[in-house]
Amino acid sequence: MSTALAPVENGHECLDLSSYDPQAYNILSPVLRLDTAAPYLRFRAVEVRLDPDVHRGDCYAAPGTKWTKDRRTSELLPVLVAPSKPGLLKISSAAGLIIDPRNSRRITPDACERCIEMAQATQQAARCGDCPSRFDTAYQYIGAVRTDTGWRIVKASYEWNLDAQRRKLVREGRKKLAKAQEEGRPFDVEEHVEDRLDQIIAERYGLAETKGLLRLVRAICHLRQAYTREEMARPFIVVRTELAPDFADPETRRALAAKALCSGAEIFGPAEDDRPLLHVAKAEVVEDLACEPDFTDVEGRAEIAADAVDDDLDSGLPSADAAGIDDLTPAALSDAVAEPVHPSVPDEAAPREPEPAPTPAAGTCDDCGGSLTRAVVAYCQSSRGQATFGGANYCFTCQKRHRPAKKAVAQ
C-alpha cells in the first residue's frame, strides 16, 4: 500500500487524484479532488493490489465469461474476473469500512413476507412444512465509512432461493452432460443436481451471509461486478477519511477519549439492553447452597431412609410417614442437627469460639442402655417405629438386630 497527500495554501489538507493515470490505476472515488472543510480531517489515498490470477485467491472467473488460451503458456484463462471475498475484504479494510454488528442479521425472505401478509389478511396460519420456499433465507448487512461530511451508511442484502439454485444446477448439469457425451462417458443429471442441492442447502446460511457482505463492500467502495484481467492487475486507489486533530491539546484528548466510548452507538444507534432475568428459585438455591452442610449421623439417617424405601417398594404405594418424618416435631429436627466438623487447621492467633453444650439425652436404649437423641426416640415411638420395634426404644446398632427379616422376593 502507498499513500498520497497534497497540502493546500490555507494549511488544511486535501487530496488530488488527478495525478493518477486512469489507464494505470482503478480509482474507486466519484470525485478526483477532495478539499476538507474541517481542520481535524485528513484524506488518504491507499493503493491496494489484487492478483489477477484466479488460482491465487484474490479473484475468480466471472460467471458466464468466455475463456481464452494464453499464447505463451497455452493455458485457458477467463476474459473477465471478479474480486473474491479475500480481495474485497482487503479493499474494505483500506477504505475503513465498519460493519454494524447489531443490525447485520438474517431477515425474512420475500416468499415468507407474502405468506405473512396473506395470513394477516385471511386470519389463517400458513403451512410451512410442505412449502417449496421453506429453505429460502436472506441476510442483511449494514456498514458505514467516514466522509468529509460525516458517516455514509449503506445497507445491502442477499436472498438465497431454492428454486433459483435448482434451475442454475439443472443448466450446469446439462452442460456437463453434453461434455460427457462428447467424451463418451456416462453422466446422470438428476443425481448431480440432487447431490449439489444437498450440499448447498446445508451451507445456505453461510452463502447468504457471504453474498450479502460482498454486495455491501461493492456498493460502499464503488466496485464493479467484474473486471478484465488487465484491469484487475492495476492497483485500486481507495480514498480513506481519517480523524487527525491536534493531539497536543488536553481538551482534545479528553474529548477523543469520551468520543471513542460512544462512537459505535452514535453511528448505528444504541444497542438494546437485554439483560437476563434471574428467577427467584435460582436465588433461593444459591442461598441454600451457601449454607454449611450437615454430615452428622449420616449412617443412621441413611438406614432410616433405606428402610422406608424398602417398605414402600413392598407395599407398592408411597408411605405418608416414611422414615417417621411426619411424626417428627420441629424441635426434634433441630435437636437432631449437630455442629459440623471442619477439618481446617485452627488459627492460634484467632479467638476460639466456645464449644456448644452437648445435647441432653432423651432416653436410653432398651437393649444396650446407650443414650438416645430425641429424633431416634421420636422415630421409635412413631407409628412405623412401633409397628417395627413394638414400642421399644433402640439405638441405630440395636435396630439392625431387632428389625424383622426382609420379605423374600419371588424369582
- 244 or 306: which carries more pLDDT confidence? 244
Task: Note whether 221 and 334 are same-domain residues.
Answer: no
The pLDDT tens digits for 36-75 are: 667 778 888 999 999 999 989 899 999 888 988 888 888 8
Question: Quick check: 95 pLDDT over 70?
Answer: yes
The DSSP code for 121 is H
Which structural domain, as residue segments, surrounds residue 332? 296-338+359-411
Task: Note whether 68 and 120 are same-domain residues.
Answer: yes
* Within a domain: 290: no
* Within a domain: 287: no
Which regions of 59-189 does DSSP assign to beta strands (E)?
Answer: 59-61, 67-69, 76-78, 80-83, 98-99, 105-107, 137-147, 150-160
Task: Note whether 246 and 301 are same-domain residues.
Answer: no
* Within a domain: 345: no
* Within a domain: 291: no
Task: Note whether 246 and 395 are same-domain residues.
Answer: no
Radius of gyration for the alpha carbons in the chain, expressed in angstroms and rounded: 40
In this prediction, residue 46 carries a pLDDT of 92
- Count of residues making up the chain: 411
Per-residue pLDDT band at 300 (split at 50, 70, 90): low
Give the H or E element holding residue 241: strand 236-243
Task: Note whether 247 and 383 are same-domain residues.
Answer: no
Task: Note whether 300 and 264 are same-domain residues.
Answer: no
Residue ending a domain, choose from 268, 283, 310: 268
Task: Note whether 250 and 327 are same-domain residues.
Answer: no
Using a 10 angstrom Cβ sphere, with 0-12 exposed, 13-18 middle and 19 or more buried, the burial of residue 96 is middle
Cell of 128: 410451512
Instruction: Return the closest-CA partner of residue 126 out of 277, 164, 134, 45.
Output: 134
Task: Note whether 83 and 136 are same-domain residues.
Answer: yes
Task: Note whether 26 and 128 are same-domain residues.
Answer: yes
Question: Quick check: 94 pLDDT over 80?
Answer: yes
Task: Note whether 54 and 191 are same-domain residues.
Answer: yes
Percent of the chain with pLDDT over 90: 33
Question: Quick check: 83 pLDDT over 50?
Answer: yes
**Domain count of the fold of the chain:** 2
Count the neighbouring beta carbons within 10 Å of the beta carbon of residue 381. Answer: 16
Per-residue pLDDT band at 305 (split at 50, 70, 90): low
* Within a domain: 282: no
Q: List CB contacts of 268: < 8 A, sequence separation 6 or more.
A: 100, 102, 103, 142, 144, 153
Residue 132 CA to its chain's centroid (Å):
29
Task: Note whether 68 and 118 are same-domain residues.
Answer: yes
* Within a domain: 278: no
The pLDDT tens digits for 119-144 are: 888 888 877 777 888 899 999 999 99
* Within a domain: 309: yes
For range 233-261, the mean pLDDT: 82
Task: Note whether 59 and 97 are same-domain residues.
Answer: yes
Q: Which 3 state secondary structure label does DSSP give 58?
A: coil
* Within a domain: 273: no
For range 306-334, the mean pLDDT: 46
